[in-house]
């Protein structure tokens, strides 16, 4: 693996089930993540994904690619366009730096209305994983 390597993209269909399951699994019971009517009353067109689920998906994207021996060290994300039901988010990543056994990956998750998430993940791989 080298600086500049691109990770294969991961498409995540944004279903109501994913939004609700992610919210509940992260113990986030804010109604804007499960109740469309209350979400509308608060000015949102529909329910939308919570930040903890986005964080989890970004982590999964990295470990799916680098494998179970990869260890996440840092995940830093910023949210932009919300993930609403019916949309699709495509995660892409690019290795920005490699230092010994540690790589820094720039991640972008784009949906139909813009960039849902941009962020940086620092991940450590055991030496056998072929970091150069």
Partner 1 sequence: MGTGSAFAVYQKCQCEAPWGDEGEGATVSYEPVVSHEAKAEAAAEPGDVFETRLKVYEGQRAAVSRVGKDPVNAPMIRHWCEAMGDTNPAYSGPDAIAPPTMLQAWTMSGLSGHTRGTHAYDELLGLLDDAGYTSVVATDCEQEYLRPLRPGDEITYDSVIESVSAKKTTKLGTGYFVTTRMDIRVGPDLAGTHRFRILKYAPLRRADRPAAGPARRDQSQKPSRPRPVINRDNAEFWEGVQRHRLLIQRCTGCGTLRHPWLPGCNACGGLDWDTVEASGEGTVYSYVVMHHPPFPAFDPPYAVGLIELAEGVRMIGNVLGVPYDKVRIGLPVRLEFREYDEELVLPIWCAQEGAAQEGAAQEGLYEHR
Residues that bind partner 1 (CB under 8 A): 12, 18, 21-22, 24-33, 38, 40-43, 45-46, 48-60, 63-64, 68-69, 71-82, 84, 112-114, 116
Q: Exposed (0-12), middle (13-18) or buried (19+): which is 123, by Cβ within 10 Å? A: buried
**Shorter beta-carbon distance to partner 1: residue 98 or 121:** 121
Residue 122 CB, nearest distance to partner 1 (Å)?
8
Residue 6 CB, nearest distance to partner 1 (Å)?
21
At residue 50, the 3 state secondary structure works out as coil
Which CA distances in Å does 6 have to 88, 95, 104?
Answer: 20, 6, 12
**CA of residue 49 relative to chain centroid, distance:** 11
**Shorter beta-carbon distance to partner 1: residue 100 or 114:** 114
Residue 67 CB, nearest distance to partner 1 (Å)?
8
């Amino acid at each position: 693996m080298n600086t500049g390597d691109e990770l294969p993209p991961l498409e995540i269909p944004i279903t109501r089930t994913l939004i609700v399951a992610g919210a509940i699994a992260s113990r986030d019971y804010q109604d804007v993540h499960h109740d469309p009517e209350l979400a509308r009353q608060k000015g949102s067109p529909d329910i939308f994904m919570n930040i903890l689920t986005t964080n989890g998906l970004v982590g999964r994207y990295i470990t799916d690619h680098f494998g179970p021996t990869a260890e996440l060290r840092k995940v830093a994300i910023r949210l932009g366009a919300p993930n609403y039901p019916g949309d699709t988010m495509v995660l892409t990543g690019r290795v920005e730096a490699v230092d010994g056994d540690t790589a820094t990956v720039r991640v972008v998750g784009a949906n139909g209305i813009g960039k849902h998430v941009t962020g940086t993940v620092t991940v450590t791989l055991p030496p056998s994983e072929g970091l150069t």
